[in-house]
Amino acid sequence: MKTIPASGGASALAPKRQTNWDWRAATNFIAGGAGGGLLLAAAGASQAGGDVRIPVLLALALIGLGLTCVWFEIGRPWRALNVYRHIQTSWMTREAAVAPFLFAAGGLLLLTAQVALAWLTGLLGLAFLYSQARMLRADKGIPAWRHPRCLPVVVSTGLTEGAGLLVLTHALVLTDFGVGPALAPERSGWLVPGLVLLLALRLALWRAYLAGLAGPGIPDGTRRELHAINSGFAAAGHWLPVVLALAAWAGAPAAATLLLLAALLAVASGWHLKYTLVRRAAFTPGFDLRHLPVRGKGDASLFVTPRES
């Protein structure tokens, strides 16, 4: 096999980083996915008797921010309603279709604080998050997105970020975790073990995804960008927050501060992952020429794979 750099005519064949979705699209996946995960986490907290209006308000704000960024990304924003014309085939349409029901249920929840409405809003948040993951999976032109192991990574990080944001809102705002005595194990309920379990799941799915990218058809740029964040993502995004969260749950000194740091790391690492996935690792596959066209004498059986310069 002969590998040639992306220069001259071969540049048209080489993998290229996609430019259709910029930081505004990435913000929709970052903020919207975290908001959907937070709505589901808030539903669980409501079942335990917690007041979830603050986290629900934050989740709706995040989802609204993401959708607003996408709206401004459209060249002609007032044609945004056209997105609803393809609900049979488009996961982008399904994401948009879920949003009005999600905001309506969330608004009623803010007014009534009913547990049933919390669960309805949480399930709609999960549907919103899943639709986002399927949007990436459906884009066959980007190997990093169309890989089947990408979908569970996107869903798991949204759920993990949601759990982390719920911990943050409890620690910063709600009375159970507000200014006062250090966080005790009996007061943390299921939040800390839930966050730890989600972190473990996300790390396992991330490693499986990276292993799957070792196969053929994956651009070098995709592997390079994702492996560049791998060590930091595992250490600062998983191992450190797990240690901090478990120390807080065990009643270590400054437990509330430790839990805050754990939650911040869990959320920030997930956002960094999604930005990298949507913006930096999103390369087109390029083309392999199994047979070079030859004029006159020459070997027409050479196998050419263009690479990024």
Which CATH number do you get for residue 73? 1.20.1630.10
Does 17 score more than 60 pLDDT?
yes
pLDDT recorded at residue 148: 94
pLDDT recorded at residue 74: 65
- Tally of domains in the chain: 1
The secondary structure of 19-88 as a DSSP string is -SS-HHHHHIIIIIHHHHHHHHHHHHHHHTT---HHHHHHHHHHHHHHHHHHHHHSSSGGGGGGGGGGTT
One-letter amino acid identity for 279? R
Query: Are the beta carbons of 152 and 205 closer than 8 angstroms?
Result: yes
Distance between CA atoms of 67 and 134, rounded to whole angstroms? 16
pLDDT recorded at residue 69: 87
pTM of full prediction above 0.75:
yes
Average pLDDT over residues 219-227: 94
Give the pLDDT band of residue 73 (cuts 50, 70, 90).
low
Does 237 score more than 60 pLDDT?
yes
Average pLDDT over all residues of the chain? 83
Query: Are the beta carbons of 29 and 151 closer than 8 angstroms?
Result: no
Question: Is residue 4 one of the residues assigned to a domain?
Answer: no
Question: Is residue 35 one of the residues assigned to a domain?
Answer: yes
Question: Is residue 2 one of the residues assigned to a domain?
Answer: no
pLDDT digits (tens, 9 = 90+) for 145-199: 999 999 999 999 999 999 999 998 877 754 343 333 333 334 446 788 999 999 9
Does 297 score more than 70 pLDDT?
no
Q: Which residue range(s) make up the domain with 165?
A: 17-285
Question: Using the 8-state DSSP alphabet, how is residue 238 labeled?
Answer: I
Question: Is residue 291 one of the residues assigned to a domain?
Answer: no
> CA Rg, the chain, in Å?
22
The secondary structure of 255-297 as a DSSP string is HHHHHHHHHHHHHHHHHHHHHIIIIIS-B-----BSS----SS
Question: Is residue 12 one of the residues assigned to a domain?
Answer: no
One-letter amino acid identity for 189? G
Question: Is residue 81 one of the residues assigned to a domain?
Answer: yes
Average pLDDT over residues 96-124: 94
Span of 29-33, 271-275, 285-289 with lowest mean pLDDT: 285-289
Give the pLDDT band of residue 65 (cuts 50, 70, 90).
very high
